Amino acid sequence: MSITRLGVNVDHVATVRQARRGAEPDPVTAAAIAELAGADGITVHLREDRRHILDRDVMLLRRTVQTHLNLEMAATDEMVAIAMKVVPDYVTLVPEKRQELTTEGGLDVVKYKDKLTRQIDLLHQADITVSLFVDPDLEQLKASARIKADYVEIHTGAYCDAKGKQQTVELIKIEEAIKAGKKLGLGVNAGHGLNYQNIRPILALGGVEEFNIGHSIIARAVLVGLDRAVREMAELVHGR
Ligand code: PXP
């Protein structure tokens, strides 16, 4: 069985840089450190408002990332055109609202199937593997498979925010979504809100190919250093 992968999202290194609109800390340097510490992939979200990651970061990361580059972006024609220029290894399409603090929910693949079909087709023509960020919902998974997404990334946010019994309810939804996604022939990734504690029950379910984790790793890195923060998460994800 292949090893579960850790994708490290370095957006919040850029958040600190943008607090002063300066040059440091550089998410490109952070990505290299994360790879040396055991990351299996690097993820960045180029938001439409460019609040953290900038076009320059994406261009440089394309040339420097040694593992794989996953570009998260809104499902807009402007962003698809950028992806076609950059040609990351993966694109993860997400819903995006300007006022949100972070991505708030999964894509509505059922509603936007026509637009998404066209965008997936374009990205495939550029040899980019496409993942759709979706809630753990069977209809969304079925629609993702129908429009020929390669992967889904299951939104773990509701599970991470839930408390007590509700957390078990949300975990079961994730378990069912992993099984359904695989049955439909999709690769299954997961992410959003995961930290060093709440990832453990999801790891125990098995079946997730890659976890995309940002905030908790960068938050820990501020206190203990990026190398150690990535190593500790990589050990968990790799089961060592
Ligand atoms: N996956 C997706 C699709 C996201 O939008 C985000 C946040 O940018 C993440 C994973 C990472 O979430 P977090 O920063 O909470 O680990």
Spatial CB neighbours of 236, under 8 Å, sequence gap ≥ 6? 196, 199, 200, 203
Tokens of 84: 């076609």
| pTM across the whole model | 0.96
Alpha carbon of 23 to ligand 1 centroid (Å): 23
35 pocket-lining for ligand 1 (C-beta < 6 Å): no
92 pocket-lining for ligand 1 (C-beta < 6 Å): yes
51-85 as b/e: b if 16+ CB within 10 A: ebbbeebbebbeeebebbbbbbbbbeeebbebbee
Alpha carbon of 215 to ligand 1 centroid (Å): 8
The one-digit pLDDT tens for each residue of the chain (240 residues) are: 578 999 999 999 999 999 999 999 999 999 999 999 999 999 999 999 999 999 999 999 999 999 999 999 999 999 999 999 999 999 999 997 766 666 678 999 999 999 999 999 999 999 999 999 999 999 999 999 999 999 999 999 999 999 999 999 999 999 999 999 999 999 999 999 999 999 999 999 999 999 999 999 999 999 999 999 999 999 999 997
Based on the number of CB atoms within 10 Å of its own CB, is 23 exposed (0-12), middle (13-18) or buried (19 or more)?
A: exposed
- For helices 55-64 and 27-36, the axis angle rounded to 10 degrees is 30
Tokens of 20: 């002063």
Tell me the C-alpha distance between 28 and 60, whole Å: 7
**133 - beta bridge partners?**
153
Say what the pLDDT of residue 145 is.
98
Say what the pLDDT of residue 236 is.
98
Total Cβ atoms within 10 A of residue 166 = 12
Domains, the chain, ordered by start? 5-238 (3.20.20.70)
Alpha carbon of 81 to ligand 1 centroid (Å): 22
